[in-house]
């Protein structure tokens, strides 16, 4: 397996452009199953997860073409039976269930996998589809769904830790071709859900309340092809902001939409980091000394769980105690033990990590456990003195496009080391 070899202690300087959003493009690719026409998706990041979704669509009978940052999908003829081994490996693959069921009135999709960061049940997906009239059975690792015809209804998608993002996407896609009107209460409001809704509207769907907790979808008979540009990846933007601040650098981040992560910007400024808007970009300037800052992850528009690990790496450089509380996933502190190898002083108390910052970090070999933990270890390695080797970076390749290339342009001393 490949790894990153980082020689830290160098401030990041320069400009970086943010790629398209992974969490937006995966359900958008799934939504192309709703029409037999050609769909063109632009500003698509070249990620292993995106390529994987392309293989899943091809296994269902769709024609998929990757060309630069553009993906063209034509699902003229599709089957409702997904490849078990392909689908089970990626969490985002569950998004094909709603479109397949809505278009074909039947679907068999394997239960999904993904990063091991805690329990991520699909009960709200199933609840929503049953409310629309689907008959569901889970056996042999498959979700088997069928219906005579999906019918509009009102469904509540609030869960234990807030609205379900993928569940909202799945039910919204299923409802576009259902008979009548579907109202989703407690819908997720993430920018990625909004981007999917806008994609569906450009296909001819009728959706009201986009960006709000109440979505009203009036079913139509057919959807047509479209041409759509994916929003920038807010998590990648936040990762580079944290990296620049942690290394006491100055970086202009192009394509970062401040309105998509206001909670993160608030906490960065609270920590003493200067962030300025510059005509479609954000300029981040680190102060000489960081201030300890408490953070609690919450559903959008609160502080995102996907930035928790990166912010923790940043707080390792702040003199004093920071308390970082995880309210979304119960197993999202697996990076803590690896950060300790670099000299970080962090203790876990229930859902909170107590970070005693200000101790200099020093390089060491570390092992990534999931996508965002990998990013946090890279940030810590960039801030540390000496050499850090981050193993299992295949996690990073799932969600960050050419991370080492972008960091090198900012002056980082980072190289990809081929695995055996």
DSSP E strand boundaries for 54-202? 63-67, 70-74, 106-110, 135-139, 142-146, 154-156, 158-159, 162-163, 181-185
Work out the angle at residue 359's Cα, subtended by the Cα atoms of residues 355 and 365, and round it to the nearest 5 degrees.
Answer: 90
Among the three residues 229, 245, 267, which one is the final residue of a domain in this structure? 229
Q: Do the beta carbons of residue 50 and residue 95 sit within 8 Å?
A: no
> Active-site residue 39, yes or no?
no
Q: Is residue 158 domain-shared with residue 114, that is, in the same domain?
A: yes
**How many Å apart are CA 60 and CA 74, to the nearest integer?**
11
Q: Is residue 340 domain-shared with residue 219, that is, in the same domain?
A: no
Among the three residues 204, 229, 254, which one is the final residue of a domain in this structure? 229
Q: Is residue 213 domain-shared with residue 236, that is, in the same domain?
A: no
By residue range, what is the domain housing residue 377?
3-19+232-417
**How many Å apart are CA 134 and CA 147, to the nearest integer?**
5
Q: What is the pLDDT of residues 93-125, one digit of tens each?
A: 889 999 999 999 999 888 875 444 334 478 899
Which strand ranges, in their side-by-side order, compose the sheet holding 3-7? 365-367, 387-391, 3-7, 413-417
Backbone angles phi, psi at 31, to 5 degrees: -65, -20
Mean pLDDT of the chain: 93
Q: What is the pLDDT of residues 181-203, one digit of tens each?
A: 999 999 999 999 999 999 999 99
Q: What pTM was computed for the model?
A: 0.95
Q: Is 343 left (phi over 0), alpha (psi -120 to 50) or beta?
A: left
Among the three residues 229, 246, 266, which one is the final residue of a domain in this structure? 229
Q: What is the pLDDT of residues 132-142, one digit of tens each?
A: 999 999 888 88
pLDDT band at 279 (very low <50, low <70, confident <90, very high): confident
The per-residue DSSP string of 308-337 comes to HHHHHHHHTTBSEEEEEE--S-TT--THHH
Which among 115, 189, 242, 316 is annotated as catalytic?
Answer: 115
The whole-number pLDDT of residue 111 equals: 80
Residue 31 belongs to domain with CATH number: 3.65.10.10
Size (the chain), residues: 420
């Amino acid at each position: 397996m490949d790894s990153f070899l980082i020689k830290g202690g160098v401030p990041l300087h320069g400009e970086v452009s943010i790629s398209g959003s992974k969490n937006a493009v995966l359900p958008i690719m799934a939504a192309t199953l709703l029409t037999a026409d050609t769909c063109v998706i632009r500003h698509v990041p070249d990620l292993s997860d995106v390529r994987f979704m392309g293989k899943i669509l091809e296994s269902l009978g769709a024609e998929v073409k990757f060309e630069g940052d553009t993906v063209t999908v034509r699902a003229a003829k599709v089957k409702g039976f997904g490849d078990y081994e392909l689908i089970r490996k990626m969490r985002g693959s569950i998004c094909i269930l709603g479109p397949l069921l809505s278009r074909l009135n039947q679907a068999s999709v394997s239960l999904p996998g993904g990063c091991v960061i805690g329990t991520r049940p699909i009960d709200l997906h199933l609840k929503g589809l049953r409310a629309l009239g689907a008959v569901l059975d889970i056996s042999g690792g498959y979700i088997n769904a069928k219906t005579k015809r999906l019918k509009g209804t009102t469904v509540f998608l609030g869960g234990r830790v807030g609205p379900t993002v993928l569940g909202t996407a799945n039910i919204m896609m299923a409802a576009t071709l259902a008979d009548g009107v579907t109202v989703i209460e407690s819908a997720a409001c993430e920018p990625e859900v909004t981007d999917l809704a806008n994609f569906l509207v450009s296909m001819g769907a009728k959706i009201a309340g986009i960006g709000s907790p109440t979505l009203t979808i009036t079913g139509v008979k057919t959807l047509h092809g479209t041409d759509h540009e994916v929003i920038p990846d807010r998590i990648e933007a936040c990762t580079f902001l944290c990296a620049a601040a942690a290394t006491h650098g100055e970086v202009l981040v192009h394509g970062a939409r401040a309105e998509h992560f206001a909670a993160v910007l608030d906490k960065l400024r609270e920590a003493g980091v200067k962030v300025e808007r510059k005509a479609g970009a954000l300029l981040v300037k680190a102060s000489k000394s960081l201030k300890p800052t408490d953070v609690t992850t919450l559903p959008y528009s609160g502080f995102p769980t996907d930035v928790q690990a990166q912010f923790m790496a940043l707080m390792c450089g702040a003199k004093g105690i920071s308390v970082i509380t995880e309210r979304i996933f119960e197993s999202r502190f697996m990076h803590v033990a690896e950060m300790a190898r670099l000299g970080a002083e962090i203790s876990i108390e229930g859902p909170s990590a107590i970070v005693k910052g200000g101790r200099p970090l020093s390089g060491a070999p570390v092992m990534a456990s999931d996508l965002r933990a990998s990013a946090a270890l890279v940030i810590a390695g960039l801030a540390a003195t000496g050499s850090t080797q981050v193993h299992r970076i295949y996690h990073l390749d799932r969600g960050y496009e050419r991370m080492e290339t972008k960091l090198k342009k900012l002056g980082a001393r980072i190289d990809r080391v081929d695995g055996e």
